[in-house]
Structure 1
Amino acid sequence: MNDFEKMAPALAAALAARGYETLTPVQQAMLTAEADGADLLVSAQTGSGKTVAFGIAIAPTLLRGEANLGEAGLPLALVIAPTRELALQVRRELEWLYAGAGARIGSCVGGMDMRKERRALEQGAHIVVGTPGRLRDHITRGSLDISQLRAVVLDEADEMLDLGFREDLEFILAAAPAERRTLMFSATVPKPIALLAKRFQKDARRITATSEGQQHGDIEYQLVLVAPPDRENAIINTLLYVDAQNTIVFCHTREAVKHLASRLANRGFSVVALSGELSQAERTNALQSMRDGRARVCVATDVAARGIDLPNLDLVIHADMPTNPDTLLHRSGRTGRAGRKGTCALIVPHHRRGAAARVLKLAKLEATTIAAPTSADIEARNRQRILEDPALSEAPNEEELAFVRELMEAHSAEHIAAAYLRQQLALRPAPEELADTPIAAFTQRDRNAGNFERDDRPSERFDNGVWFRVSVGRKHRAEPRWLLPMICKAGHITKREVGAIKIHEAESLVEIVTEKAEAFAAAIKKGGVIEKGVSITRVEGAPPADEPTRTGWNANKKGKFKPKAARPASAPGEGPKRIKTKPRWKNGKRP
């Protein structure tokens, strides 16, 4: 007996019509005897087919041996999702999965017209999908009666708790009938999820569909190291080189999304933006543009894109580096879903490569370190795509043949091919020029340690280092801890290429390794302005001698640090003598 024979005939027919040949591990787990009729706590990675999985799991509870669900009345199942997009996506999935069972599916999500939702609920629904806050509102107002529920599903339960929906979830679960099935699906099972399961589930069966050591096995991770000013150019070149059917680009903030989407649109990409400031209608239109092919690139924030599933999403680009492994895994999980292959590219400035490596290590992922595609790489790839275009292998039909002969008589084959080549190249945006900064190879020890910034350079590399003068010193409160990152970012170098840093009263001196000095000088450009009010210039000849002063740091009453006044150096025993005074006493006590 195969997997399809174990499920309800209506669902098996829907899966076969959809092109399913095999089920994913989490979907297969729903058909085992262990899961039959029980409360479930399921952990499975993003993109593993969880929506179809819980649709299969609750089918026997809803159908009870019947071929279809019959006339719609009060809801039999409630599915709770963390975001509007995910809830609407779940509804679409369940609509085709339960079409043969005659299911009517309603939705209750924030941002939609509540009056329309109320009217739809009055007409009856077998399954209701919604977000926690809106579902609670309907229950409180009496427009959603959940007294006949047979099953409740919490999708992305960990995300709902992270987004602050604990009280809403507890209210809904407490209001649901006691004799029901409760299924919780979560990428991870932290302590809050375990406590929620213990409180609202009965003898829940724990199912883990994937092992922690094999997360995102269908995703190829690439660490793209770039000079800091080339970050956006590297994103453009990566889009052109991969030429994926659909791509999502993640940024940290709404402003970053708006800026990058505008830049890509100006460069000729069909792009949409997805952020929290958009209305629900605008977000829906943006996602629909990706689904129907009107747009191929979506620039989004983390929260706005949480849980969405775009078809043929082959590439995920992290324009802003994720700050923790959970964010990295959740972003990357938009591709490589349900057995499809995908690529995830992290665009990382040179000086941030250590932080990127640590996040990858915490996420238990390995990434291939590459340079951003150059103009030559993209041009070669474009020519390869043109040569392999399937349209060139198709013979002309009868209607086209007459005009083809007319073209051949009027123009030579070389002229026609050249015109076709120019036309194809004109359809693609031009690549960007990147700074010529070679990437240092990572050592195996650094990969294991997750730290690419360890200062283990041989001292002889700096015997003849080149010195540069920075226009800030002690009186400007200059310190190595903020000078060093600023210098690395401005000169497109890493800590390994920086030697000694000498801070004087009005300026500072920085030593750059000889083989990087020319590239560093070119990177800071003429004028040497690396930040507002800070300039850097090359020191010709030997650097000035160190200042013969002794200084220290002292705290004032407000807790701010200020340099002590410098005093001339003196030989031991020649400094000013300290005058000892007896403490003044008052009535036998210290004043």
Structure 2
Amino acid sequence: MTPTDDAASLPTTIHPALASALEAKGYSQLTPVQMEMADGRHVDADLLVSAQTGSGKTVAFGIAIASTLLGHAGQFDAAGFPLGLIIAPTRELAIQVQRELDWLYAATQIQTATCVGGMDMRKERRALERGAHLVVGTPGRLRDHITRGALDLGAIRAVVLDEADEMLDLGFREDLEFILGAAPQQRRTLLFSATVPRGIAELARSFQKDAVRIAVTAATEQHADIEYQVVLVRRDEREHAIINTLLDSDSASALVFCHTREAVRHLTARLANRGFSVVSLSGEMAQSERSNALQSMRDGRAHVCVATDVAARGIDLPNLDLVIHADVPSNPATLLHRSGRTGRAGRKGVCVLIVPEHRRAAAQRVLAFARLWATARAAPGIAEIEARYRRQILDAALSATEPDEAEAAFVAELLAKATPERIAAAFLRQQVAARPVPEDLSPLPVADMQARRPRRDKWSEGERGPATMREPRGPGMVGGVWFTLPLGRRQRADPKWLLPMICNAGGVSKRDVGSIRIDETETRFEIAADKAAGFAEQVRLPGSTERGIVITPVAEARGTPWRAKPTFGKGGKPGRIPTHRGDAAPTYRDHPRKHKGKPKRPG
């Protein structure tokens, strides 16, 4: 939504103090989610809201909780115990939310406090002691303050979980349950999420009362402000395609996503060597480094940011109109959250997936499951980029103003000593030298990469199952053998670190591992039939796994003879496996001295 000068169309149901702030910002038309939150019918209700990332959710829940916090008053009384609590998944998003609410509630004399990891905890404690009407924080730091007695939630009237699905993906479920359990039962609870997977639905049932479900955008509707493109390249030319895509774009700023920190470091160095003004974001960076990188993007000193998924969650960069997936997203939720960094609040954006030939099927699957339609295109070549350079150089020359008095004498001297052709050639060479040299790419036929009609599969989002499933490798993996290990969602199990652990423990490769299914307290995974016997022998050896982790075939864990079940049926779907509820496999809580109830991640 783009603010304008006419504020006549703002709903009268918005609290007057907030309406004046919106008018001062030039808002004339609210986004769909903001209109829903301004609806007087939801003024006292718990809400479960799904809306696209970048749809103006911060202003939306600011509008939604205003009457709950202020009542009919125009301003807050002196600050004491907090009345409202906003929980966000990352430091950047929490700070961003606080800034937005500060201007939205400016006329109410609001006092806000932030409690986020990576910041000075003593300063946060002093701010809480001085009093705050509204607290914005991340789950882990909020829990720390509650445990230490610095944050009292006894007066809380409204709790908002922003990007709730991301918080569950990051393993904050226990922290959220602790925080919500510490807040009064007589409160409003608002859950905002881009998607509503099973975990969010369970959280809503546990901590909300008769919540009103609001889906602002239909699940099958593609984000109209984001254009999706797929660029198919040779596997050894992926970085070349990224460079040429950046050079061929008119974007003022771009965000490039990689899977790992090492990939971020490598690509950042590569782009810097090629002359790009580039910064990076990854989880290993200190908060000051992350803040400096984001500020460089905001003030225009940097034009490209290379980031991991976790590091870039929740950030909002102005004028970001290009997102590049250097690595194909592993699941639909990751694709949607990455892409949602652009096309925000009515701005147009482009999302480009760089797809090596051998990852073509994976890209088609993730687009189909995300219900997105992408345009296939070839990677920009040298000729295209050089033609763009020439147009830019010509535009720069034609848009130059006539020489002023201070310049006129020296311009006359230049023309007297050098021909116009030589001066133009010097200008041309200077302009070309200031631009990165494009890469030579091998021509590839543009395959049909349009998203196919999605199947109703448990790998997709929503009520059809968890998003932590891993698609089987190979053609169906017929006759695969299922194994189990005692780590589940309760121990924050994640395929990203489970897969390497499984491979190391059993001496197999990633291609030998099929589906990975994470339940509450256990994980079941499939090993190719021809590797299963050797895998079973290997994991029985002492020291093959970390202390406290026992990997067993599923049938043995159920107390029955081991046989290669279940097999895959038509369409590559595994047969139904009963959930393990026995005591054959110990959980991490059987080993409190070493693990204290939480798994030690490999590496």
Contact 1:225 1:349 in 2 (8 A): yes
Are positions 1:425 and 2:432 aligned together? yes
Report Cα offsets for 1:206-232 as digits up to 9, x if no partner.
Answer: 111111122322111111111111110
Distance 1:391 1:286, change over 3 A: farther
Equivalent of 1:102 in 109, 114, 121: 109
Q: Does 1:253 align with 2:260?
A: yes
Q: Residue 445 of structure 2: which of 439, 448, 460 is its match?
A: 439
Number of paired residues?
459
Contact 2:329 2:335 in 1 (8 A): yes
Question: Among 33, 41, 52, which residue is 1:34 paired with?
Answer: 41
Identify the residue that residue 71 of structure 1 maps to in structure 2.
78
C-alpha change, 1:431 and 1:58, in structure 2 (3 Å) is same
8 Å contact kept, 2:247–2:385: yes
Write the letter of the residue equivalent to 1:18: K
3-state SS in 2 of match to 1:169: helix
> How big is the shift at 1:62?
1.8
User: For residue 293 of structure 1, what is the amino acid of its counterpart?
Assistant: G
Task: Choose from 374, 377, 401 the match for 1:370.
Answer: 377
| Secondary structure in 2 matching 1:212 | coil
Q: Given the alignment, which residue of 367, 370, 375 partners 1:360?
A: 367
| Residue 291 (1) aligns with residue 303 (2) | no
Does the 8 Å CA contact 1:34/1:205 hold for their aligned counterparts? no
Aligned to 1:211: 218
The answer for the alignment partner of 1:351 in structure 2 is 358
Q: How far apart, in 2, do the equivalents of 1:296 and 1:262 lie? A: 15
Q: 1:383 aligns with which of 367, 377, 390?
A: 390
Q: Which residue does the alignment assign to 2:142?
A: 135
User: In the alignment, is residue 200 of structure 1 matched against residue 244 of structure 2?
Assistant: no
Does the residue aligned with 2:309 lie in a helix, a strand or coil? coil
Q: 1:340 is matched with which residue?
A: 347
Alignment pair present for 1:81 and 2:88: yes
Alignment partners' CA distance in 1, 2:271 and 2:22? 38
Q: CA deviation at 1:351?
A: 2.5
Deviation per CA, 1:403-446: give whole Å up to 9, x if none. Answer: 545544444443333333222222211111112x33154398x9
Within 1, Cα distance between the matches of 2:359 and 2:378? 15
Counterpart AA for 1:367 = A
* Structure 1 position 250, deviation (Å): 0.6
Q: 1:324 aligns with which of 311, 316, 331?
A: 331
Pick aligned residue for 1:416 from 423, 439, 442: 423
Aligned to 1:57: 64
What's the CA shift string for 1:322-357, capped at 9, x where partnerless? 121111111111111111111111111122212211
C-alpha contact (below 8 Å) 1:83/1:307 kept by paired residues: yes
Match of 1:170, as an amino acid? E
Q: TM-score, normalised by structure 2?
A: 0.71
Determine the C-alpha separation between the residues in 1 that align with 2:530 and 2:107: 78
Listed one character per residue, the Cα deviations across residues 447-471 of structure 1 (whole Å, up to 9, x for unaligned) are 5699xxxxxxxxxxxxxxxxxxxxx
Equivalent residue for 1:92, pick from 89, 99, 107: 99
- Helix, strand or coil for the counterpart of 1:242? coil
Name the SS for the 2:399 alignment partner: helix
Deviations 1:60-87 (Å, cap 9, x if unpaired)? 2222222222432221110001122211
Q: Which moved more, 1:156-165 or 1:244-253?
A: 156-165
Relative to structure 1, is the Cα distance of residues 200 and 390 closer, same or farther in structure 2, using a 3 angstrom cutoff?
A: farther
Q: Over residues 126-177 of structure 1, what are the superposed CA-to-partner deviations in whole Å (9 max), with x where a residue is unaligned?
A: 1110011111111111111221112110111112122222222122112212
Question: Structure 1 77/401 Cα, relative in aligned 2: closer, same or farther at 3 Å?
Answer: farther
Q: Equivalent residue for 2:276?
A: 269
1:191–1:352 distance in 2 versus 1, CA, 3 Å:
closer
Structure 1 CA distance for aligned equivalents of residues 284 and 531 of structure 2: 44
Instruction: Give the counterpart letter for 1:96 in structure 2.
Output: W
Q: CA separation in 1, counterparts of 2:429 and 2:193?
A: 51
Q: CA deviation at 1:101?
A: 2.1
3-state secondary structure, aligned to 2:220:
helix
1:232 to 1:64, Cα distance in 2 relative to 1, 3 A: same
Which residue among 311, 318, 329 is the counterpart of 2:318?
Answer: 311
CA RMSD of aligned residues (A): 2.7
Task: Note closer, same or farther for the CA distance 1:433–1:10 as it changes in structure 2 (3 Å cut).
Answer: same
Answer yes or no: is the 8 Å Cα contact 2:232–2:444 preserved in 1: no
AA at the equivalent of 1:111 = G
Which structure's CA Rg is the greater one? 1
Instruction: Tell me if the contact between 2:46 and 2:212 (Cα under 8 Å) persists in the aligned partners.
Output: yes
CA contact 2:244–2:380 (8 Å) conserved in 1: yes
TM-score by length of 1: 0.73
The Cα offsets for residues 70-118 of structure 1, whole Å up to 9 and x where unpaired, read as 4322211100011222111211221222222222211111111111110
Partner of 1:122: 129
> Which sits farther off after the overlay, 275-284 or 418-427?
418-427
Q: Which residue of 2 aligns with 1:458?
A: none
Residues 241 and 557 of structure 1: CA distance in aligned 2, closer, same or farther (over 3 Å)? closer
TM-aligned CA distance change 1:212 to 1:449, over 3 Å:
closer
| 8 Å Cα contact 2:11-2:38 kept in structure 1 | no
Work out the CA distance in 2 between the residues paired with 1:27 and 1:318. 30
Q: Which amino acid aligns with 1:79?
A: I
- Partner residue of 1:6? 13
C-alpha contact (below 8 Å) 1:45/1:215 kept by paired residues: no
| Further displaced range: 329-338 or 351-360 | 351-360
Query: What's the offset of the Cα at 1:35?
Result: 1.8
2:502 corresponds to which residue? none
Q: Which sits farther off after the overlay, 381-390 or 83-92?
A: 381-390
**Is the counterpart of residue 190 in structure 1 residue 197 in structure 2?**
yes
Gaps of 5+ in 2: 1-7, 456-473, 476-528, 537-603
Q: Mean alpha-carbon deviation: is it higher for 250-259 or for 281-290?
A: 281-290
Find the aligned partners of 2:378 and 2:36 in 1 and give their Cα distance.
41
Q: Distance in 2 between matches of 1:11 and 1:398?
A: 51
Q: Residues 555 and 371 of structure 1: is their aligned pair in 2 closer, same or farther, counting only changes over 3 Å?
A: closer
Counting aligned pairs with the same residue, the percent is 66
Q: Is the 8 A contact 2:9 2:29 kept in 1?
A: no
Q: Select between 373-382 and 169-178 the one with higher mean Cα deviation.
A: 169-178
